[in-house]
Chains A and B, each alone.
Chain A
Amino acid sequence: SQTIHQWPATLVQPVGSPLSLECTVEGTSNPNLYWYRQAAGRGLQLLFYSVGIGQISSEVPQNLSASRPQDRQFILSSKKLLLSDSGFYLCAWTGLINEKLFFGSGTQLSVL
Chain B
Amino acid sequence: KQEVTQIPAALSVPEGENLVLNCSFTDSAIYNLQWFRQDPGKGLTSLLLIQSSQREQTSGRLNASLDKSSGRSTLYIAASQPGDSATYLCAVDGGSRLTFGEGTQLTVNP
Are B44 and A103 closer than 8 Å at their CB atoms? yes
The 8 A CB mask of A90-112 against B (1 = contact, 0 = none) is 10100001111111111010000
CB of A61 within 8 A of chain B?
no
In the assembled complex, the Cα of A105 lies from the Cα of B44 at a distance in Å of: 8
**Which one of B42, B89, B93, B97 lies within 8 Å of A43 (CB-CB)?**
B89
Q: B98 near A101 (CB under 8 angstroms)?
A: yes
Whether the pair B100, A44 counts as a contact (CB closer than 8 A) is yes
For residue B26, CB closer than 8 A to chain A, the reply is no
Q: Mark out the residues of chain B between 1 and 46 whose CB falls within 8 Å of any chain A CB in the assembled complex.
A: 4, 31-32, 34, 36, 41-46
Q: Select one of B42, B46, B51, B96 contacting A49, CB under 8 A.
A: B96
- Shortest CB-to-CB span from A79 to chain B, Å, is 26
Tell me whether chain B's interface is mostly helix, strand or loop, or mixed: strand
The docked-state distance in angstroms from the alpha carbon of A100 to that of B35 is 10
Instruction: Say whether A100 contacts B49, CB under 8 Å.
Output: yes
Minimum distance in angstroms from B53 CB to a CB of chain A: 10
* In the bound complex, CA of A112 to CA of B44 (Å): 26
1/0 contact string of B72-110 vs chain A (CB within 8 Å): 000000000000000001010100111011110000000
Do the beta carbons of A100 and B97 come within 8 Å of each other?
no
Is the pair B97, A49 in contact by a Cβ cutoff of 8 Å?
A: yes
Asked whether A106 and B43 contact (CB < 8 A) given A43-B103, A97-B31, A101-B34, the answer is yes
| Residues of B bordering A, CB below 8 Å | 4, 31-32, 34, 36, 41-46, 49, 51, 89, 91, 93, 96-98, 100-103
| CB<8 Å pairs between A and B, sample of 14 | A6-B43, A34-B97, A41-B102, A59-B97, A88-B41, A98-B32, A98-B93, A99-B49, A100-B46, A101-B34, A101-B46, A101-B98, A103-B36, A103-B45
